[in-house]
């Protein structure tokens, strides 16, 4: 029997650990540079891209999380004066999340988001390569019993609802 299967197992674990470690290091760098979590930065980026305002339902839909999760994230950003809430003038049932000057500055000054680097590189791949990577990642998630977890498309190892 050869050591090849064991070597591949170790190599796969090393690759997983590198990914996990990079997300941890990025989260630490972002917290140090901007005082934000990756999920909080993503909320600010989405609002900025939508013209400085977004509905919580829109944020939840784009991030792939519940409105309760968005509410928790927005609460933290409101407390830091990065965003504010404003009732819609046309429909009082709706509340807009508005980007503040501090929020705009945070988006502008934050380190390049890790998931944005990934998205740029992934989208440059050929279609077959994207499918191959997606299938492999989904298989790894299933192997770790993580395929049913409710997570947002944000590279962060923490629960995005956790208080920070």
Count of domains for the chain = 1
User: What tens digit of pLDDT does each residue of 110-145 get?
Assistant: 877 787 888 899 999 999 999 999 999 999 999 999
Does a structural domain hold residue 156? no
pLDDT band at 26 (very low <50, low <70, confident <90, very high): confident
Does a structural domain hold residue 137? yes
161 pLDDT more than 70: no
For position 128, which CATH number holds?
1.10.10.10
Does a structural domain hold residue 150? no
β-strand partners of 98: 53, 84
pTM of the prediction? Answer: 0.71
């Amino acid at each position: 029997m050869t050591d090849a299967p064991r070597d591949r197992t170790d190599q796969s674990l090393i690759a997983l650990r590198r990914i996990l470690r990079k997300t941890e290091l990025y989260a630490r760098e972002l917290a140090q540079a901007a005082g934000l979590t990756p999920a909080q930065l993503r909320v600010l980026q989405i609002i900025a891209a939508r013209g400085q305002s977004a509905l919580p339902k829109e944020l939840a839909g784009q991030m792939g999380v519940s409105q309760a999760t968005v509410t928790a994230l927005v609460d933290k950003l409101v407390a830091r004066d990065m965003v504010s809430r404003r009732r819609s003038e046309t429909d009082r049932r709706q509340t807009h999340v508005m980007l503040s000057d501090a929020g705009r500055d945070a988006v502008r000054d934050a380190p390049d988001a890790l998931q944005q680097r990934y998205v740029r590189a992934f989208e440059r791949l050929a279609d077959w390569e994207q499918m191959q990577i997606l299938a492999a990642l989904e298989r790894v998630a299933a192997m770790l019993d993580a395929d049913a977890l409710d997570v947002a498309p944000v590279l962060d190892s923490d629960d995005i609802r956790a208080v920070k």
